[in-house]
Amino acid sequence: EIVYALGLGDDLIGVTDECDFPADAVTKPVVSRSALPQGRPLTSREIDAAVRERMDARQPLYVLDTDLIRREQPDVILTQDLCRVCAVPAGHVEDALATLGLTDRTKVLSLDPSTLDEVIAQIEIVGKLLEAEARATELASGLREHVAKVRQTAMRLPTVNVFCMEWGEPPFAAGHWVPEMVEAVGATNVLGAKGEPSRGVTHREIRDSYPEVLVYMPCGYYLEEAEAEAGQVIAHPEIAETPAVRNRNAFAVDATSFFSRPGPRIVDGLEILAWAVHPEAFPAPPPGSITRL
């Protein structure tokens, strides 16, 4: 998404099987795909079990198309080490390049932001590497202005306890940049920690954190998928006791597009979250991005 936002889509020669924005991205050759069972959609519990099984067996979660890499011989590969579950780790990419004899030719840039500020700053890092500094600076500045406007509006609003749930079964509290997003919209983030990985929590911890707003944002889920699971998630007896659920301030969101991916659309996610917390002060988000449960 960053490459396209910098106007360099024509230079992109390979993507992952999850790269689907903008629409042109799906026309690119797939260089990395999930090793998890394909076919019928898996529940969050089934995905968690499959991931743990492969990790316990020291099996990779993603498969690299080394033949494609050998054929195309890219100048730059953008990868990540933030989450071994979400995409191919940088170490696997570097090992593949060494095997192919491309270590000296191909630069590998690992993008590992942990905060909202770092998500935006990495756009400038990519822009510098890809010789698109002017466009990257312009894009990053615009995103920072959007964030500043949200913060400014939120300063005059009452604080609200917000729980962002990154996984349903087992439950996880969202970490990394999400707690900072919650703070930016004038709310108090509960359970997750700014700049730290997402962590497992118990249903009792969720109940005892007294969230007034609950946002179900399972990593890698689109709105339809999140909505399909959310009913069961909030029906759990201890979650059903929270003020968020009792007062119908629980939401499901398009996490894949606006919260899970650390790219330019994270700022759209901030504005969606702002509306969920303070609908009286922020404009309604676009259709298909969030639904009240």
- Read off the pLDDT of residues 199-212 as tens digits, 9 standing for 90 and up: 999 999 999 999 99
Q: Which of 27-31, 44-48, 195-199 has the lowest mean pLDDT?
A: 44-48
Give the pLDDT band (50/70/90) at residue 59.
low
* 8 A C-beta contact, residue 122 and residue 1: no
* pLDDT for 20 beyond 70: yes
Q: What is the dihedral of CA 201, 204, 207, 208, to 10 degrees?
A: -90
Place of tokens 């509290």: 173
Structure confidence by residue, pLDDT tens digits, 130-142: 999 999 999 999 9
Six-digit token pair at 133? 């500094």
CA within 13 Å, CB half, 26: 5
Question: Counting runs of H as helices and runs of E as strands, what totals does the chain give?
Answer: 13, 12
> What span, in angstroms and rounded, lies between the C-alpha atoms of 213 and 9?
38
Vertex 167: Cα angle to 166 and 171 (nearest 5): 110
pLDDT at residue 60, as a whole number? 64
* Superfamily name and number for 158-292: Nitrogenase molybdenum iron protein domain (3.40.50.1980)
- Tell me, rounded to whole angstroms, the distance of Cα 195 from its chain centroid: 13
Q: How far is CA 250 from CA 28, 119, 241, in A?
A: 37, 26, 12
> What span, in angstroms and rounded, lies between the C-alpha atoms of 191 and 208?
10
3-state secondary structure of 104: coil
> What span, in angstroms and rounded, lies between the C-alpha atoms of 171 and 288?
24
Identify any residues that bridge with 30 across adjacent strands, giving them in sequence order: 15
3-state secondary structure of 78: strand
Identify any residues that bridge with 215 across adjacent strands, giving them in sequence order: 164, 251
Give the pLDDT band (50/70/90) at residue 89.
low
Q: How confident is the prediction for the chain on average, in pLDDT?
A: 90
* pLDDT for 128 beyond 70: yes
Vertex 79: Cα angle to 91 and 83 (nearest 5): 75
pLDDT at residue 169, as a whole number? 87
Task: Output the DSSP codes for 15-60.
Answer: EETT--SSGGGGGSPEEEEE-S--SSPPPHHHHHHHHHHHHHTT--
pLDDT at residue 64, as a whole number? 83
pLDDT at residue 10, as a whole number? 97
* pLDDT for 281 beyond 70: yes
Domain ranges across the chain: 2-112, 158-292
* 8 A C-beta contact, residue 31 and residue 16: yes
What average pLDDT does this structure show over 157-184? 95
Helix 133-154 / helix 116-129 crossing angle, nearest 10 deg = 170
Q: What is the value of pTM for the model shown?
A: 0.88
> What span, in angstroms and rounded, lies between the C-alpha atoms of 10 and 28?
10
Task: Look at 160 and 82; give whichever has higher pLDDT.
Answer: 160
Six-digit token pair at 148? 């500043």
pLDDT at residue 108, as a whole number? 86
* pLDDT for 183 beyond 70: yes
